[in-house]
Structure 1
Amino acid sequence: MRRLAAAAAIIAGVALSAATDVPPSRRLRRKRNSYSVLLYSHAAGSVGSVGIAAMTDATQAAAQALDAIYGVNVRSAIPEIGVVFISGPPNSAAIIKRRVGQRVKAVLPTMVFSSPVVRPVPSSFINGTGSGASLVSSEGSRDGNPGRTLSVVDEPDYRPLQWSRVAMDADRAFNAGLKGGGKRPARVAVIDEGFWLDHPSIAHYNKELSFNFVPGEELMFNPKRSSDRDLSHGTHTSSILAGRDLSGHGTLGIAPEADLVLLKGLSDGGYGEDLGVMTAIKYAVEKGVDIISLSLGGVVDRRGQEDDPYTDYDESLTPEEAAAYIDMWTAITGYAYRKATTICRLADCAGCKLAKANTHPPHPPPPNPPKLDLKGVTIIASAGNDRADLDKTNPNKVYILADLPHVIAVSATGPIFWGRDQATNLDRFVTGYSNYGAPIDLAAPGGNIAAAYRDFNATCRVPLGEGRAALELRCYEFDAVLSACCSASATFPRAQYRRATRYAWLAGTSMAAPHAAGVAALIVAKRGARVAPDKLFAYLQQCADDRGLAGKDRRFGYGRVSAGKVVDLVF
């Protein structure tokens, strides 16, 4: 868990509609007349500089002063890290610095991303010769007639298509009764775009704690805001993590009995800004979540970035703004982690840097380390789909969330031509699109698209079990991750597949992060108590199959996570 980085939020999925994994544009763009006011008091996330109580007082005082400025509107604040989110006129920075004074370290523009399109390739379902049910009735045809709408209980058992469960030995954990539940279930939060709350795979979500942080939208996914009809990235990732057991229908999550908290930090259109994601993280910490899974990311250049004259957006950042932006994001991940330690006195923490024991290279421990109070939250995030060497490609570029302190960064693995040979190696290599480098902590199934380069038009036919329906589609799509995705009317699958189904294949480090978070949930539930972030990370290392070079390497980290190894874990 290394990192130092920042940026706003974008979904980390890979488009499957063409034979390419060209990295999506990650350029930040400003949101007009919207700002983050960063106060000096948090000192870039340092624990020893000021206590949370003092920081809260300082932020509240600054918020009151800001709200008194004509034309400035305080939208929200995170007092624990000294950040106030505001809207105001273009000259807000100068006005704020003049009126609020020395408390203000920086007035940063709110930065916004747009997400890459996440789209499976068209496929066709073929009836088997046995008694298995088809996904559509006989009147469904290639002329565009969608056929009848099927509920999820009418859909086949898709578990035979979940190669990721085989790679992680997930059935061993499931059959041993490790499902993320028990007397003290693991509480997991997924921060993403909207969710199909009525999808049976995630309908057991925690309705009391789940919450929307995107103004003007709802927690429920609204396809009218999306360019991909009713395909919900949030539903896909949350179902990978905690999709419930539907008794032989659909797919199955890694921790199906975990306490699932759905937090909407991105819009249904795939856009996200600092306010939504950061306040969702803070909320998750306050509500006692054990694990946060984030399948989103972006990049900022430490040297600042110039505006691209060929876009309609202002993408500029000064070096000072970039540095302060990094500080702001470092503070929020530090806050989540900091709940695992007692805030110490300056005299006891001289030279102490918050949780640097897991950085690269490691820092020596402080002489009087603070005692654990076991209240921390473990953040697990996708490494990003830029094919980037996080150490060498551009050392001035930093990634959120893979480069942030106290974040477990997960790269993606996947098979090649699994549809032709289900005995093929499932994770010999990290996928070509996945970022890599020293920040990578773990690997997990994310899906591969390499087969598309080798034979894009090749088709494969995979039976769903003896006497059951078979599925035929382009071979490389089987190498992606199948999970819940869509509404009861299955608008997107009908347009893409000419079939009604509430499931889809996606690939990306977006899919890897919830697989790893699911294993973390199994560990917490087996322990039956909260597990501090550093300790949970150590357990995850024990529950990983070493891949690539022996020991920790730049592509797999400490290895590909294994749900089956949780069975043997001793606390």
Structure 2
Amino acid sequence: MRQQSRRSVLKLSGALLGSLAVGSNVVAAARTDRFIVETKNASVADLRRAGLDVAYDLSATGVAVVEGSESNLSSVTTAYAPDVEIHLETPAVNDAVPAGATDEPGYGIQWDKQSQQIPDVHDVTRGAGTRVAVIDSGVAADHPDLEAAVNEDLSRNFTADDFGSGVPAGGDHGTHVAGIIAGNDANGTGIVGSAPETEIVDCRVFSTAAGASFADILAAIVYSVEIGCDAANLSLGAYPVPRQEEGQFYGKVLNKTMTYANSQGTVLVISAGNDAADLQHDGSVISLPNEGAAALSISATGPKGFAFDAGDVEEGPESPAFYTNYGTNAIDLGAPGGDAYLPAIESHPNTWFYDLVYSTISVPEYDENGTYVDSTNSYGWKAGTSMAAPQVAAAVALVRSLDPDLNADQVKSRLKQTASVPDGYDKSYYGAGLLDPLAAVSE
């Protein structure tokens, strides 16, 4: 991974609820005891003197997160907004784990890795010497395909629960994402990850409830920068968020944080969202965090009919997924995220799900009090821009493993310049084009 002077490992904690989805209806619930504050006119010391507890000192980005009375906060500054919890809904096309299906062989059903020619990529590089943060629901560090990749010492739990890190306490989503990036292709079982020799840091920002704290996600981004991550994958988001009033404040704070990450060399790879929305022409709303400054915003592609005869609707892996957000200036790259021909769920119940992305999962178990107690490691299918983003995060690691001195903008430029829009498809779904990791590492 990148070496930077004066690096310090931050020991952070906070309060967070979590959920991730394919397709989302956003409900923002404002906290009344927790606030995101700009520190330009009110320093962290000022905030503490006002009787506030500082949950996160993110001074490098000009931001702090405090807990306490709003009246105390308003006595020292007006540049703040409440932390918010954003709730998401998941459609039925996600999380396909039919009975017995996880016993199927690995690479043979990984159309995403086949279409990206990942074995040929590995003849050039496997991502050694790089580090990727997975800001998500938790990564199962004991999964057979991930145990060699996860750095448990650096992994952090950013939630208020005490379930720790390196565990899928917020759900199996993060483990699925991590497998796409770094699944072990040398252990004779399971799946192939795009960058199996990169190091994964689990930054768990989801717990057992249904929403995600914006402040904790900001803190996880800053932490990823401070530990020298080459990329941070954020397969999460909220849409639609109003551009005005508090939405404008959240966008401003997010832009500061993301600009800081980019300046320090950490590439932020973010799912574009799953609402089939035209982000280019959606008026007074915005999708966050993928439309923030310096992000790589990733749309999803996928086949229809990979393992069954889809007839006239058959599509290749380069085809835009039915759910993906799009918009020429809102999307940077397209990448494999999975698709589905919805009528096939009934007509081909044993094969329709092969059009989704196959990766590692670890299903959490909770006791009667809702306390995380264990998880069961396995494999399964998911779809979404959530699955497309880690394909790109892995490509960042592959490029950096060959050219560690490239800055964040140069890495992004390499990925864009080697991508292309597939013939016959609309540029608005791809931005610069469809990710081509082999071209990126062969340039």
TM-score interval, normalised by the smaller of the two chains: 0.7 to 0.9
Which residue of structure 1 lines up, in the alignment, with residue 372 of structure 2? none
TM-score by length of 1: 0.67
Is it true that 1:221 corresponds to 2:167 in the alignment? yes
Partner residue of 1:381 out of 260, 265, 270: 270
Task: Choose the corresponding residue for 1:88, options 63, 68, 93.
Answer: 68
1:421-432 maps to which residues of 2 (within 5 A)?
425-432=315-322
**1:97 paired residue among 34, 59, 74:** 74
In structure 2, the residue matched to 1:35 is: 35
Structure 2 vs 1, CA of residues 251 and 519 (structure 1 numbering), >3 Å: closer, same or farther? same
Given candidates 305, 308, 333, the residue that maps to 1:417 is 305
Contact 2:151–2:199 (CA<8 Å) still a contact in 1?
Answer: yes
Residue 139 of structure 2: aligned partner:
195
Work out the CA distance in 2 between the residues paired with 1:476 and 1:421: 10
1:160 paired residue number: 108
Give the letter aligned to residue 219 of structure 1.
S
Q: Distance in 2 between matches of 1:504 and 1:156?
A: 10
Taking only aligned residues, the RMSD between alpha carbons, in angstroms, comes to 2.8
Q: 1:559 to 1:243 in 2, by over 3 A?
A: same
1:466-513 deviations in Å (ceiling 9; x for gaps): xxxxxxx53321100011012599xxxxxxxxxx97011000000000
Check the 8 A contact 1:63/1:84 in 2, yes or no.
Answer: no
Matched letter for residue 164 of structure 1: D
* Residue of structure 2 equivalent to 1:514: 390
Q: What residue in structure 2 maps to residue 555 of structure 1?
A: 429
**2:153 aligns to what?**
208
C-alpha separation in 1, matches of 2:100 and 2:250: 48
**Pair member with larger Rg:** 1
- Residue 8 of structure 2 corresponds to none
- Runs of 4+ in structure 1 off by over 4 angstroms are 8-12, 421-425
The letter of the residue matching 2:98 is S
In 1, distance between residues paired with 2:30 and 2:396? 35
Question: 2:323 maps to which residue?
Answer: 433
Q: Which residue of 2 aligns with 1:149?
A: none
Instruction: Give, as a single letter, the amino acid of the residue that structure 2 aligns with 1:476.
Output: W
Match of 1:293 in 2: 233
Question: Which AA in structure 2 matches 1:399?
Answer: S
- Asked if the contact 1:10–1:298 (Cα under 8 Å) also holds between the matched residues in 2, the reply is no
Amino acid aligned to 1:563: P
Q: How many residues align?
A: 413
1:105-120 matched pairs, under 5 angstroms? 105-117=78-90, 119-120=94-95
| Structure 1 residue 567, shift from structure 2 partner | 4.3
User: Percent sequence identity over matched residues?
Assistant: 27
State the match for 1:179 in structure 2: 126
Q: Which moved more, 1:200-209 or 1:475-484?
A: 200-209
Aligned position for 1:258: 198
Shift of 1:427: 3.0
Contact kept? 2:27, 2:86, Cα under 8 Å: yes
What SS does the aligned partner of 2:132 have?
Answer: strand
Q: Is the CA contact 1:13–1:509 (under 8 Å) kept in the aligned structure 2?
A: no
CA distance in 2 between counterparts of 1:535 and 1:448 reads 31
> Which segments of 5 or more consecutive residues in structure 1 lack a partner in the other structure?
1-7, 15-22, 42-57, 127-134, 136-154, 305-318, 340-375, 460-472, 490-499
Tell me: CA distance 1:322–1:542, structure 2 relative to 1, closer, same or farther (3 Å). closer
Q: How does 1:298-313 map to 2 (within 5 A)?
A: 298-299=238-239, 301-302=241-242
Measured after TM superposition, the shift of residue 64 of structure 1 is 2.8
1:152-189 CA deviation, whole Å, 9 max, x = no partner? xxx56311000001111112112x141101xxx12111
Give the 3-state SS of the residue equivalent to 1:191 in structure 2. Answer: strand
Does the C-alpha gap of structure 1 residues 288 and 244 become closer, same or farther in structure 2, counting only changes over 3 Å? same
SS in 2 for 1:28: strand
Against the structure 1 CA distance between its residues 180 and 421, is the aligned structure 2 distance closer, same or farther, given a 3 Å change threshold?
farther
Q: TM-score, normalised by structure 2?
A: 0.85
Q: Which runs of 5+ in 2 are unaligned?
A: 1-15, 366-375
**Equivalent-residue separation in structure 2 for 1:222 and 1:419 (angstroms):** 30
Q: Secondary structure at the match of 1:474?
A: coil
For residue 352 of structure 2, give the secondary structure of its aligned residue in structure 1: helix
Q: Compared with structure 1, are the counterparts of its residues 123 and 97 closer, same or farther at alpha carbon in structure 2 (3 Å cutoff)? A: closer
Deviation per CA, 1:256-296, whole angstroms, max 9, x where unpaired? 00121111122244531022211111111111111111100
Aligned partner of residue 33 in structure 1, secondary structure: strand
Aligned match of 2:212: 272
Q: Could you list the per-position Cα deviations for residues 351-401 of structure 1 after superposition, in whole angstroms to 9, with x for gaps in the alignment?
A: xxxxxxxxxxxxxxxxxxxxxxxxx21111100001110021x32111112
Relative to structure 1, the CA distance from residue 232 to residue 303 in structure 2 (aligned partners, 3 Å threshold; closer, same or farther) is: closer
Post-superposition shift, 1:422?
11
Separation in 1, partners of 2:290, 2:235: 10
Q: Aligned letter for 2:24?
A: P
Does the residue aligned with 1:514 lie in a helix, a strand or coil?
Answer: helix
Conserved? CA contact 1:258–1:521, under 8 Å:
yes
**Structure 1 position 444, deviation (Å):** 0.4
Structure 2 residue matching 1:447: 3-state secondary structure: coil
Higher relative contact order (CA 8 A, sep 6+): 1
